Amino acid sequence: MRTVAYYKGCLASLSAKELDTSTQALAPKVGLELIELEAVTCCGAGDIHEAEPDYYLHLNARILRVRGGDRNHSLSGLTSAR
């Protein structure tokens, strides 16, 4: 089983809960163990993406940095957010 970091997304977790449900149900069937990221900020998929595209990229880079900053795990990224 391969361990991957998982961010279900802030907007997606509210407006498209089926993305998280289906991702978590499918992951073990394809050999993935999901480790949900904690203490990450909003990805900006809603209004921020439209109003401030550069800030949107900054927020997503920060999420990736949080994922990559854990020296104890070699985790690939996986997200259900758009």
- Give the integer Cα–Cα distance in Å for 22 and 4: 16
- Tell me which range, 32-36, 47-51, 64-68, 74-78, is most confidently predicted by mean pLDDT: 32-36
**Regarding predicted confidence, which is higher, 4 or 45?**
4
CA-wise closest residue to 82 among 52, 36, 49, 39: 49
The model's pLDDT over 28-51, given as tens digits with 9 standing for 90+, comes to 999 999 988 877 777 777 777 778
Paired tokens of 21: 């449900």
- Give the integer Cα–Cα distance in Å for 55 and 4: 26
In this prediction the pTM is 0.61
Mean pLDDT for the chain overall? 76
